[in-house]
Amino acid sequence: EAGVTQSPTHLIKTRGQQATLRCSPISGHTSVYWYQQALGLGLQFLLWYDEGEERNRGNFPPRFSGRQFPNYSSELNVNALELEDSALYLCASSLGLASPEVSQYFGPGTRLTVL
């Protein structure tokens, strides 16, 4: 069974540009989560989508946004990129909101570098 996939593997942008990161969840999972792993800041929760709806949001500015598509894949968009946005962005998936099973399974990540 395929795991969580993310694309691209690496992304290089310059300050002020926009970045789009993509995630495909494990088959049967309807919840998708985004986390940022930045040097010195650790792993921080960004966003949670379930059944196309944003369910929870971490302490990040509005220029971090995303969406979930009908096939449960998800996009993370980062507008007006700043140098400190350079990080590994991890996507995870799990069974949906109604399920008691809460384990999250992570993809390999997208390394975003902002120059």
Partner 1 sequence: AQSVTQLGSHVSVSEGALVLLRCNYSSSVPPYLFWYVQYPNQGLQLLLKYTSAATLVKGINGFEAEFKKSETSFHLTKPSAHMSDAAEYFCAVSVKGRRALTFGSGTRLQVQP
> Which positions touch partner 1 (CB under 8 A)?
4, 31, 33, 35, 42-45, 48, 55-56, 58, 90, 92, 94, 97, 100, 102-109
Buried b (16+ CB within 10 A) or exposed e, 16-37: eeebebebbbbeebbbbbbbbe
Cα gap 57→81, rounded to integer Å: 19
Q: Residue 8 or 16: which CB sits closer to partner 1?
A: 8
Q: Residue 75 or 105: which CB sits closer to partner 1?
A: 105
Q: Residue 43 or 115: which CB sits closer to partner 1?
A: 43
**Structure tokens given for 72:** 């449960």
CB 89 within 8 A of CB 110: yes
Minimum distance from residue 30 beta carbon to partner 1 (Å): 12
Minimum distance from residue 106 beta carbon to partner 1 (Å): 4
Minimum distance from residue 16 beta carbon to partner 1 (Å): 28
CA 109 to chain centre: 9
Task: Kindly give the pairing relationship between strand 10-13 and strand 110-114.
Answer: parallel
Q: Residue 70 or 102: which CB sits closer to partner 1?
A: 102
Minimum distance from residue 46 beta carbon to partner 1 (Å): 9
**Structure tokens given for 49:** 């989508």
